[in-house]
Amino acid sequence: MADEKKAADRRMDAQRFTALTEAYGGEVQRWPQADQAAAALFAQSEDGRAILERAGRLDPLLAGKGTS
> Based on the number of CB atoms within 10 Å of its own CB, is 5 exposed (0-12), middle (13-18) or buried (19 or more)?
exposed
> What is the structure's pLDDT at 1?
46
Alpha-helical runs (H) found in the chain: 2-9, 14-24, 33-42, 46-62
Q: What is the mean pLDDT of residues 47-65?
A: 84
What mean pLDDT do residues 46-50 have?
A: 97
The single-letter code of the amino acid at 33 is Q
What is the tens place of the pLDDT at every residue in 17-34?
A: 999 999 998 999 989 999
Contact call for residues 12 and 41 (beta carbons, < 8 A): yes
| Burial class of 21 by CB neighbour count within 10 A (0 to 12, 13 to 18, 19+) | buried
* Domain chopping of the chain, boundaries: 2-25+33-62
